Amino acid sequence: MTGLLVGSANARIGLRDGIAVLAGGGSALNAVVAVIRRVEANPDDHSVGFGGLPNLLGDVELDASIMDGRTLATGAVAGLRGYQDAIDLARVVMTELPHVLIVGEGAARLASESGFQLRDLLTPEARQIWASRIENAQPTDLYTAKTRELAARLTRDPERPHDAHGTVNVIARDGAGNIASGVSTSGWAWKFPGRAGDSPIIGAGNYADQRYGAATCTGRGEMAQRCCTAHSVVTFMRFGMPLDDALRLAAEDLHRLDDPYKSEVNIVAIDREGRHAGASTVPGKTYIVMTTEMDEPLELERRYIPPAPDRLANQ
């Protein structure tokens, strides 16, 4: 079977690593890790791993998850500080611990015990972006108030100059037909310390069950958490919906949410046949695809899904 990688556009930098794994007969899980590892190491991507934008206090906190669509085995970390390889650590959780999700100090302890390299994840450039946004904060500001203010600014800022959202999504299908999915992020910039988004929450930002397909999300994690978006897409396919309809229904559910910080949610997904699609609650987004038969990746339009007509009628 042809090896396939589908991901968010920022996965491009790692696609060749993933294709090399698949072309060499490697597993979908290994391919997912190979792609995401490269993105996490990229200091120019301020939404993932090393160089990621920090939380309100200037600390970079990473979230990641991985899922094996063959067995539904999964592992995740949230609020990981000081180690860039969040996706590798999520895999350690999956394979070495009788747990699914490890957070904060526990995640750093696991990284240390597993021989991961300690590293200051805050690059001078990311620090500068953070400082420019935080400069008006008073030491007396309550974190809750400041988080709300910055989240509101991010939500309304049409240019989002430093793209304060962002996450890498990768779904792989290997030569044996097995599917795996992975997600890694530094989360919403300026988040409340300890906030975990959808990326490490299985069912919210990541889900794979190869009997039906797989789905992963980027964008406002709180919305995907509330709708269990990734799991919903896979479940809708389980109930017989074609991939495009499953994505439409999931996006319409997201539009229905009442949320003062409402923002975009983007989904990439594949069905059990390896048909792929990208969808978004906002127009103009793309996703990326590469197979073992292609020389170059293909960047494709995501389908924009507007609110459902009943929602429009109620506004």
Q: Which residues bind ligand ASP (CB under 6 A)?
A: 165-167, 185, 187-188, 197-199, 205, 218-221
Residue 39 and residue 15 in contact, taking contact as beta carbons nearer than 8 Å: no
Task: Give whichever of 220 and 302 is closer to ligand ASP, judged by the CB atom.
Answer: 220
Q: Considering the complex, what minimum distance in angstroms separates the CB of residue 250 from ligand ASP?
A: 15
Among residues 166 and 297, whose Cβ is nearest to ligand ASP?
166
Q: Toward ligand ASP, which CB reaches closer, 199 or 280? A: 199
Contact 187/165 with Cβ under 8 angstroms?
Answer: no
HSE (CB half, 13 Å, CA atoms) of 216?
33
Nearest-approach distance from CB 6 to ligand ASP, in angstroms: 16
| Residue 187, CA distances (Å) to 71, 116, 145, 205, 236 in order | 27, 21, 19, 12, 27
Q: Which is nearer to ligand ASP, 40 or 198 (CB)?
A: 198
Q: Which of 167, 216, 281, 292 is catalytic?
A: 167
Does the annotation mark 291 as catalytic? no
Tokens of 289: 């695809």
We find the least distance from the C-beta atom of residue 40 to ligand ASP, in angstroms, to be 14
- 72 three-state secondary structure: coil
Helix (H) or strand (E) holding 122: none
The Cα–Cα gap between 87 and 107 comes to: 12
Q: What minimum distance in Å lies between the beta carbon of 55 and ligand ASP?
A: 11
What are the residue numbers of the active site? 167
